[in-house]
Amino acid sequence: MALLSNFTVAVLLLAFALSTCLYINHLSNHDRLVRSVYTKQNNIKAHERLVKNINPATQQNNSVETNTVHTVSSQETDISRDSKCTMAPESRFDCARDRLLSQTECEERGCCYAPLPDSAGPPWCFYPSLYPGYKMGPFTPTTRGQAATLSRATPSYLPKDISTLQLEVIEETAGCLHLTLKDLSSQRYEVQLPAGVPERKPDTQDALYTTEYQSDPFGFIVRRKSNGRVIMNTTVAPLLFADQYLQLSTTLASSLVSGLGEHYTSLLLDLNWTSLTLWNRDTAPHADANLYGSHPFYMVQEEDGMAHGVFLLNSNAIEVMLQPTPALTWVAIGGILDLYVFLGPDPQSVIRQYLQVIGYPMMPPYWSLGFHLCRWGYTTTKTTRHVAQSMHNAQFPMDVQWNDLDYANKRRVFTFDPWRFGDLPEMVEEFHNRGLKYILILDPGISSTSPPGTYPPFDDGLKRDVFIKNATGHILIGKVWPGPTAFPDFTNPETTHWWEDCIREFHSKVPVDGLWIDMNEPASFVQGSVEGCPDSDLDYPPYTPRVVGGQLNSGTLCMSAQQKLSSHYNLHNMYGLTEAFATYSALMRVRGKRPFVLSRSSFPGIGRFSGVWTGDVRSDWEQLRYSIPAVLQFSLFGVPLVGADICGFGGNTTEELCVRWMQLGAFYPFMRNHNDKLNAPQEPYIFGKKAQAAMRSVLNLRYSLLPFLYTLFHHAHTSADTVARPLFMEFPTDPNSQNIDRQFLWGSSLLISPVLEQGAVELAAYLPPGTWYSLHNGQPYYSKGQYLLLPAPLDTINVHVREGHIIPQQEPALTTAASRRKPFFLTVALSAGGWARGDLFWDDGDGLDTYEMGNYCYVIFIAGQSQVVSDPLRLNGALDGLVLGGLQVFGVPSPPLYVLANGDIVRDFTYRSDTKVLTVSSLALPMSQVFTVQWAL
């Protein structure tokens, strides 16, 4: 017994000694932080373990102003190499990102080398703590904020290292912090987004963030002011800044990260030592590949329902490394570090703050929210007419008939084939007379081999000097569908005028209603050019991120190609954005109506001018599933008008897959069925009767919901709201909603739960806390935040209305031209307290700037105390002659004794006791006037 006691005492003494040593070592590492705000130690969460340099003495000063920064520097303490290299494997930051290193080469860099059993995952060569880097000087005021000089005494290991930088810190608004890191000695390329983003008004609110700076080696920490949570901490790894390699690492506040598109991923990104490359590439969606668009923006869901976002405004090739620390490393191979931090504090506020920088989305024409039908392989006007007529005969709603490149003479844009499409102008006029619209494809590549004088787009472009040049100053020739092609330089103002002239001339013959800009990464079938590319640092940089094809010029132009603004090396990722801006502007001037543009390539800000589709998806169940996170990601990127090719573009669909895809696609904000020419047909009318009935039913449902969808787009355009919305954005404090990407919302009130598995006839759907009503029959579901097993036969997609909301609807028709004249009806989903609210935005459907000019109607609907009241807040005549034909009220607790409409008895109403639904029919209440429908219980 005594022996045991002595042993216990010895163990305790040893543990105490060890803990004391560890504590002293812990304090010795906390010696070089600049603090600008007091933060209690107990607020520092586990993910802030990497903040190893907080000086306890500075924590006593809680009177320091938020925007005051005291920089301090201290000599490095004498810490053994072993202690500097001792860290958890998930906390290692790669010191050999730029190339593979041996142990000797790693240690020559001053980095740690420690192999692990598994070759995948954490790096073997990694930075020690406090790796030497830039030293920060004092802040001085600038016109926009404050600036400091960063300098390094010895160069880094990178070629063409830049030794002196300028840090500028701009407090843009209370919720937006803006930091830039630039080369002081020479001008470098900086992204300028297309003009027209409204100036932000000065913000008088207190900032939601505080900043702290470590002077040597330089790093910064951004905290959320309300709770001290670390949003960014860049002191964990060195800042590197060379001519063609810029690197910045930061910890993340949680592992719930979304964004960094365009990739084939779930809504939440995998942080288990993954890397994502942002480099626009013509490649069909598949895992671990850089796809058509680049969006260097991410959002982090924090632990308590708060969220923040970070945007790196850089158009060069970017690689983002994600690791389970959780942490992230940006590597850009050009430009500057132009970083925005958005503090939210809720997810929707983060998106609004982001869009205040890149621009709010355009308002789409009403007709563009209808159904679109396309195929590569409608080889004649006769075939195209037959498709549109077959849709009409089978009673499928459709608004827009499309043609792929089949229409073009020798595949040259701005022409049409005189034999197969000789009566294209007449066909388009026929469509217009029937209330249909017409769109065709427009690739950027301009054929360069037609005899001089026979192809005006090239001849005129040559005279006006609009094409991208190669390194020797000659026109760069690539190869696309028509053969050898030149590529317009949309950063040249003259090019936008020439492009408009080409569109105007073509539109005078073929009055298209919108344009589909494809192949605009830009894509080319040869590497770089028909003559290859020079052996330069642009075409073969010191470091190339992991890209499809292995080289930056794979499947596109030479990086050394010259554009008006800069080299293609700097501008490649913006090619689709600049073309979309030119196309949108041209259509606006040529047609005098609201433009419709659909682009494949994208970059931040493209939502101002264009919708996007997700490219050449395959006809399979996995791609059906992944289309939801793809659409939701574009919602986060400010591109609400987005959808995937319904039933798939590549490969043959099946009847079941196509039905399920039409059901899901009816709730894509942009709804188009598109198919490749070699595949089995997938137009709705070619399937069996049951499949057709299911497709017709969901198309009619979409068309009935278009007034609601159009109103959501109005709020996206004017307030930066999202249309297709991840559940976590609406329910940020619900932990179950954080990772859901098989269901989504329209706005805040409709929950869409599609079937995504072959053979499934029931569905486990998550309903967030509250009451949800089936849109189909008003059946209530009282959820505590749980999964429910719902019937989902082939003819059904589950859609639920959230309590407290009113959905404006309209009787469907075969086109929106017809449906817009039909009676409205309301779906009213009462809350437990008997209240609900909704709204309707209504204008002419395709006029320019109707909201900005005040040329619209806006009506709110309020339900409460057993009545529904409309309140037209603004009227302009657009609703004249339109009536409310009826309404259905979900959650009426008992049968009404009677119903009144504007004080008059209504005889045509029904009540179902099982579902508690009141349906009122045969009304004709003018939508442009106040109305009241009440029921007595």
| Active-site residue set | 518, 521
Other CB atoms within 10 Å distance of the CB of residue 184: 13
Q: What is the largest CA-CA distance in the chain?
A: 108
Burial track 519-554 (b if 16+ CB lie within 10 A, e otherwise): bbbbbbebbbbbeebbeeebbebebbbebbeebbbb
**109: amino acid identity, one letter:** R
Alpha helices (H) along 438-574: 456-464, 493-509, 568-571
Phi and psi (nearest 5°) for 310? Answer: -135, 135
Specify the residue for token string 């969901």.
Answer: 698
Question: Residue 905 has which token pair?
Answer: 């008895």
Radius of gyration of the chain (CA): 30
Task: Provide the strand spans (E) within 605-683.
Answer: 611-613, 642-643, 645-646, 671-673
Q: Output the CA–CA distances (angstroms, integers) from residue 918 to 426, 528, 900, 936, in the order listed.
A: 49, 65, 13, 12
**3-state SS, one letter per residue, for 280-312:** CCCCCCCCCCCCCECEEEEEEECCCCCEEEEEE
Number of separate helices (H) and strands (E) present in the chain? 16, 51
Pair type for strands 642-643 and 611-613: parallel
Task: Fill in the amino acid letter for 713.
Answer: F
Residue 313 CB contacts under 8 Å (≥ 6 apart), including other chains? 191, 193, 296, 338, 339, 340, 357, 604
How distant, in Å, are the alpha carbons of 53, 687, 909 from that of 923?
71, 37, 10
Distance from C-alpha of 904 to C-alpha of 315, rounded to nearest angstrom: 63
Q: In whole angstroms, give the CA distance from residue 574 to residue 547.
A: 17
Phi-psi region of 778 (alpha: psi -120 to 50; beta: other; left: phi over 0): left
